[in-house]
Chain A
Amino acid sequence: MNATHEKPLTWDEMFTPDAVRARYGGVNAALQQLSAAALEGKHKQAADFFMNQGITFTVYSDNEGIERIFPFDIIPRIITAKEWDHIEAGIKQRLKALNMFLHDVYHGQQIVKDGVVPASLIASCPHFLKEVTGIDVPHQIYVHIAGIDLIRGADGVFYVLEDNLRTPSGVSYMLENREVTKRIFPDLLAHNHVRMVNTYPTRLLNILSQLSPRQVDQPNVVLLTPGVYNSAYYEHTFLARTMGIPLVEGRDLVIDHQKVFMKTTSGLQPVDVIYRRIDDDFIDPLVFRPDSMLGVPGIMSAYRKGNVALVNAVGNGVADDKAVYAYVPAMIKYYLNEDAILPNIPTYRLEVEEERRHVFQHLSSMVVKQTNQSGGYGMVMGNKATELELNDLKVAVMQNPRNFIAQPIIQLSTVPCLIDGKLESRHIDLRPFALCGPSGIEIVPGGLTRVALRKGSLVVNSSQGGGSKDTWVVDIEE
Chain B
Amino acid sequence: MLSRIADNLFWLNRYMERADGVARAVRYFYILGFDSWEGDTLGYGPLLQCYTGLTAGERQSMSQNGPAVLQYCICDNSNVNSLKVLLGKARENARGSQDRITKEVWEQVNAMYHFINNEGLTERLRGEDTLKVLDQLENHCLLYNGIVDSTMPRGLGWEFMNMGKFIERCLQTIDMADAYLQPMGYDLEKNDDLLYWRRLLYSLSGYELYLKSNRGTHHTRQAIYQAIFNADFPRSVIYSMERIDKYMHAMLAENAHPDSDKLVRQFGRLKSMVEFADPFSMDGKSLEELIQRIRQQVWDFSAELSRMFFSYT
A residues near B, CB below 8 A?
51-54, 67, 223, 228, 233, 237, 240-241, 245-249, 251-252, 262-266
Cα-based distance from A229 to B152 in the complex (angstroms): 25
Q: A67-B114, A251-B312 are in contact. Are A262 and B106 (CB under 8 A)?
A: no
Whether B208 is near chain A, meaning CB under 8 Å from some CB there, is no
- Shortest CB distance B169–A (Å): 22
Cross-chain contact B106 with A54 (CB below 8 angstroms): yes
Among B95, B110, B310, the residue within 8 A (CB) of A228 is B95
- Shortest CB distance B311–A (Å): 9
Cα-based distance from A51 to B160 in the complex (angstroms): 28
Indicate with 1 or 0, residue by residue over B112-154, a CB within 8 angstroms of chain A CB atoms.
0010010000000000000000000000000000000000000
Cα-based distance from A265 to B106 in the complex (angstroms): 23
11 cross-chain CB contacts under 8 A: A52-B114, A67-B117, A228-B95, A246-B99, A249-B4, A251-B4, A251-B312, A252-B3, A263-B4, A265-B160, A265-B257
Cross-chain contact B312 with A247 (CB below 8 angstroms): no
Q: A251-B313, A266-B257 are in contact. Are A237 and B3 (CB under 8 A)?
A: no
**Using Cβ atoms and an 8 Å threshold, which residues of chain A touch B4?**
249, 251-252, 263
Q: Closest B-chain residue to A223, C-beta based? A: B99
Interface residues of B in 195-210 (CB under 8 A from A): none
Cα-based distance from A394 to B98 in the complex (angstroms): 47
Q: Closest A-chain residue to B4, C-beta based? A: A252
Q: Closest A-chain residue to B256, C-beta based? A: A266
Whether B92 is near chain A, meaning CB under 8 Å from some CB there, is yes
User: A223-B99, A264-B1, A265-B310 known; 17 other A-B pairs, CB under 8 Å?
Assistant: A52-B114, A53-B107, A53-B110, A67-B117, A237-B99, A240-B99, A241-B98, A241-B99, A246-B2, A247-B98, A252-B3, A252-B312, A264-B2, A264-B3, A265-B160, A265-B309, A266-B255
Interface residues on B, range: 20 to 34
With a 10 A CB-CB cut-off, give which of B92, B98, B103, B111 has the most chain A CB atoms. B98
- Shortest CB distance A235–B (Å): 11
- Shortest CB distance A295–B (Å): 15
Cα-based distance from A54 to B111 in the complex (angstroms): 9
Q: Closest A-chain residue to B119, C-beta based? A: A66
**Using Cβ atoms and an 8 Å threshold, which residues of chain B touch A247?**
98-99
**Using Cβ atoms and an 8 Å threshold, which residues of chain B touch A228?**
92, 95-96
Cα-based distance from A232 to B34 in the complex (angstroms): 49
**Using Cβ atoms and an 8 Å threshold, which residues of chain A touch B25?**
none
Q: Closest B-chain residue to A241, C-beta based? A: B99
Q: Closest B-chain residue to A249, C-beta based? A: B4
With a 10 A CB-CB cut-off, give which of A52, A53, A265 has the most chain B CB atoms. A265
Cross-chain contact B3 with A263 (CB below 8 angstroms): yes
Whether B156 is near chain A, meaning CB under 8 Å from some CB there, is yes
Cα-based distance from A265 to B263 in the complex (angstroms): 15
Cα-based distance from A266 to B2 in the complex (angstroms): 9
Whether B5 is near chain A, meaning CB under 8 Å from some CB there, is yes
Cross-chain contact B110 with A52 (CB below 8 angstroms): yes
Q: Closest A-chain residue to B258, C-beta based? A: A267
Whether B177 is near chain A, meaning CB under 8 Å from some CB there, is no
Cα-based distance from A266 to B155 in the complex (angstroms): 14
Interface residues of B in 80-109 (CB under 8 A from A): 92, 95-96, 98-99, 103, 106-107
Cross-chain contact B103 with A241 (CB below 8 angstroms): yes
Among A67, A233, A241, A263, the residue within 8 A (CB) of B2 is A263
**Using Cβ atoms and an 8 Å threshold, which residues of chain A touch B3?**
252, 263-265
Cα-based distance from A32 to B103 in the complex (angstroms): 35
**Using Cβ atoms and an 8 Å threshold, which residues of chain B touch A53?**
103, 106-107, 110
Whether B6 is near chain A, meaning CB under 8 Å from some CB there, is yes
Cα-based distance from A51 to B118 in the complex (angstroms): 12
With a 10 A CB-CB cut-off, give which of B98, B99, B156 has the most chain A CB atoms. B99
- Shortest CB distance B296–A (Å): 25
Cross-chain contact B156 with A265 (CB below 8 angstroms): yes
**Using Cβ atoms and an 8 Å threshold, which residues of chain B touch A233?**
95
Indicate with 1 or 0, residue by residue over B283-313, a CB within 8 angstroms of chain A CB atoms.
0000000000000000000000000011011
**Using Cβ atoms and an 8 Å threshold, which residues of chain B touch A240?**
98-99
Cα-based distance from A113 to B65 in the complex (angstroms): 83
- Shortest CB distance A273–B (Å): 16
Cross-chain contact B2 with A262 (CB below 8 angstroms): yes
**Using Cβ atoms and an 8 Å threshold, which residues of chain B touch A263?**
2-4, 312
With a 10 A CB-CB cut-off, give which of B110, B117, B156 has the most chain A CB atoms. B110
Cα-based distance from A262 to B107 in the complex (angstroms): 28
Among A237, A241, A265, the residue within 8 A (CB) of B6 is A265
With a 10 A CB-CB cut-off, give which of B3, B160, B254 has the most chain A CB atoms. B3
Cross-chain contact A265 with B255 (CB below 8 angstroms): yes
Cα-based distance from A265 to B1 in the complex (angstroms): 6
- Shortest CB distance B265–A (Å): 20
Cα-based distance from A240 to B107 in the complex (angstroms): 17
Cα-based distance from A241 to B95 in the complex (angstroms): 12
**Using Cβ atoms and an 8 Å threshold, which residues of chain A touch B2?**
246, 248, 252, 262-265
- Shortest CB distance B140–A (Å): 13
Q: A237-B98, A237-B99 are in contact. Are A54 and B5 (CB under 8 A)?
A: no
Q: Closest B-chain residue to A228, C-beta based? A: B95
Q: Closest B-chain residue to A242, C-beta based? A: B99
Cα-based distance from A477 to B160 in the complex (angstroms): 55
Q: A67-B114, A251-B312 are in contact. Are A54 and B107 (CB under 8 A)?
A: yes
Interface residues of B in 143-197 (CB under 8 A from A): 156, 160
Cα-based distance from A170 to B147 in the complex (angstroms): 29
Indicate with 1 or 0, residue by residue over B56-88, a CB within 8 angstroms of chain A CB atoms.
000000000000000000000000000000000
- Shortest CB distance B50–A (Å): 28
Cα-based distance from A52 to B114 in the complex (angstroms): 8
**Using Cβ atoms and an 8 Å threshold, which residues of chain B touch A262?**
2
Cα-based distance from A53 to B114 in the complex (angstroms): 11
Cα-based distance from A78 to B297 in the complex (angstroms): 64
Cα-based distance from A203 to B6 in the complex (angstroms): 29
- Shortest CB distance A455–B (Å): 29
